Amino acid sequence: MSREKAETAAGFFARELLDWYDANKRDLPWRRDRDPYRIWVSEVMLQQTRVDTVIPYYERFMQRFPTVRHLAEAPEEEVLKCWEGLGYYSRARNLQAGARQVVERHGGIIPDDKAAVSLLKGVGPYTAGAILSIAFNRTEPAVDGNVMRVLSRFFLLEDDIAKPSSRAKIERLAASIIPEGRAGDFNQAVMELGALVCTPKSPGCLLCPVLAQCAGRAAGRERELPVKSKAKPPRPETRLAALVEGRGERAGKVLVRRRPDSGLLARMWELPHVLAPDEAARSRGRAAGAAALAADAAVLAHATILADAKAAGVPEAPAVADADDSAASAGAVAAGASMAGAAGDGRFDALSRGLAEEAGLLVRPVRLWSEEEHVFSHIRWKVDVYLAEFGFFLAGGREAAAGAAGGVAAEPGASYGGPSDADDLPDGWLWIGPEDMASLAFPNVFLRILNDYFTRRA
């Protein structure tokens, strides 16, 4: 497209698009005023998430944290709980960290200043552009996937939008066509066109307000654009999770743990789980012979004996209610121990060994409960969930666990240093019942598993 033609097309695009937006914009809760805090929250929620999904979350969030100060002062657990189900939880943590910066650095007022807004935690060029243009009407572009798609099609741009250089080019283009005095409306109008008309798979060109000068459509290329090189598919991982059921005083409860302070799903709650051994590792494990299995079986047998002895007044009886579970658990220690080595395609063994090694937690898997899937941006989790009986936590934590897993404590009569008191859980572990689901924040996959478990056990 020649420069002159592009300039004419840009003028047409801005004019027609704004007229269309004025007549057709959706009444969305964050469009009812120009409060920069409300715009900030909505833009963060809308990243990777559909408008329909966001609306109820946004309304609950604004009710609970109506100002930047409320958000800054809230316990993180409450913020995560309010975000639960939206995914990409680092967005919530960053938003709260940014709110705290606004309070500390700017007295609780979001600044009308590009450099200051861009320095807030979690605020990238898109969010900064959205806040500055929508709240303060600054002539700043806000270029997300929708905007890149619309502009690539309208101007017939063939740059790979996965490349940072292409994004920078489209940002410059977008900045150059923002009409005077209407930056916020223009940015929202492009996004709205991308969401409602110029959609990824089937653009509704015949209803499009800028059809008459759309170069992509004129070339018959609207469905091929934008060019985007494929991202690497998420890495598959199978996790083995334990639904450890309480018994005696803890009947009806299950054991959960808090994730580490950093990394994926930081500080959220989950069922204890370990990475499943891959096929190669499993065959290596089998080739290692009966000695290792016997050692593991002995660890588990010992765990069960000690746990049973510990649970004063609680007879050796499975806590599980199903006939299946009872049958699987009957026969006590010897059967349980051999089951741990042989049943579940080696997975009982992998789960109990893994939890002992990683967390010092001794459990006895009983049977497969459910299978779940969850896709993160870079990992695809298949989660196999096993009902399990609680043994105990090794006193001394992971170090003791390493010794036990190495076979030291598997010697007949050997001591683990005494099991931890069943009520005295290590930091970051809890027994929870259905009532606790309202206060603890879980990633979606564990939320589904636990809600399903408590419903079926009710």
In the complex, least distance from residue 153 CB atom to ligand SF4, rounded to whole angstroms: 4
In the complex, least distance from residue 217 CB atom to ligand SF4, rounded to whole angstroms: 4
In the complex, least distance from residue 31 CB atom to ligand SF4, rounded to whole angstroms: 22
Binding span for ligand SF4 by CB under 6 A among 24-32, 208-216, 355-363, 382-390: 208-216
Exposed, middle or buried, 4 (CB in 10 Å: 0-12/13-18/19+)? exposed
> Does residue number 350 form part of the binding site for ligand SF4 (CB under 6 A)?
no
Cα Rg of the chain (Å, integer): 28
> Does residue number 203 form part of the binding site for ligand SF4 (CB under 6 A)?
yes
Name the catalytic one among 43, 84, 140, 222: 43
Can you tell me which of 119, 205, 264, 425 binds ligand SF4, judged by CB under 6 A? 205
Q: Which is nearer to ligand SF4, 95 or 193 (CB)?
A: 193
Cβ neighbours around 172 below 10 Å, total: 11
CA distance 393 to 261: 21
Asked about 43 being catalytic, the answer comes back as yes
Closest of 106, 141, 137 to residue 127, by C-alpha: 141
In the complex, least distance from residue 221 CB atom to ligand SF4, rounded to whole angstroms: 9
> Does residue number 154 form part of the binding site for ligand SF4 (CB under 6 A)?
yes
Can you tell me which of 41, 147, 157, 198 binds ligand SF4, judged by CB under 6 A? 198
> Does residue number 148 form part of the binding site for ligand SF4 (CB under 6 A)?
no
| Binding to ligand SF4, residues 409-428 (CB under 6 A) | none
Can you tell me which of 81, 93, 138, 153 binds ligand SF4, judged by CB under 6 A? 153
> Does residue number 344 form part of the binding site for ligand SF4 (CB under 6 A)?
no
Q: Are 245 and 319 in contact (CB under 8 A)?
A: yes
CA distance 146 to 122: 20
In the complex, least distance from residue 218 CB atom to ligand SF4, rounded to whole angstroms: 9
> Does residue number 14 form part of the binding site for ligand SF4 (CB under 6 A)?
no
Binding mask 247-276 for ligand SF4 (x = CB under 6 A): ------------------------------
325 contacts: CB under 8 Å, gap ≥ 6: 318, 366, 367, 387
Q: Which is nearer to ligand SF4, 120 or 156 (CB)?
A: 156
In degrees, rounded to 5, the angle at the alpha carbon of residue 205 between the alpha carbons of residues 204 and 207 is: 75
Helix (H, G, I), strand (E, B), or coil: what is residue 381?
Answer: strand
> Does residue number 214 form part of the binding site for ligand SF4 (CB under 6 A)?
yes
User: What is the DSSP-derived secondary structure letter of residue 191?
Assistant: H
Can you tell me which of 211, 275, 332, 414 binds ligand SF4, judged by CB under 6 A? 211
> Does residue number 216 form part of the binding site for ligand SF4 (CB under 6 A)?
yes
The alpha carbon torsion through 188, 189, 195, 196 (nearest 10 deg) reads: 140
Can you tell me which of 150, 328, 350, 400 binds ligand SF4, judged by CB under 6 A? 150
- In DSSP terms, 370 is beta-bridged to 385
Exposed, middle or buried, 181 (CB in 10 Å: 0-12/13-18/19+)? exposed
14 contacts: CB under 8 Å, gap ≥ 6: 177, 178, 179, 186
164 contacts: CB under 8 Å, gap ≥ 6: none
> Does residue number 21 form part of the binding site for ligand SF4 (CB under 6 A)?
no
Return residues touching ligand SF4 (CB under 6 A): 150, 153-154, 197-198, 203-205, 208, 210-211, 214, 216-217, 222
**Would you name the residues annotated as active-site residues?**
43
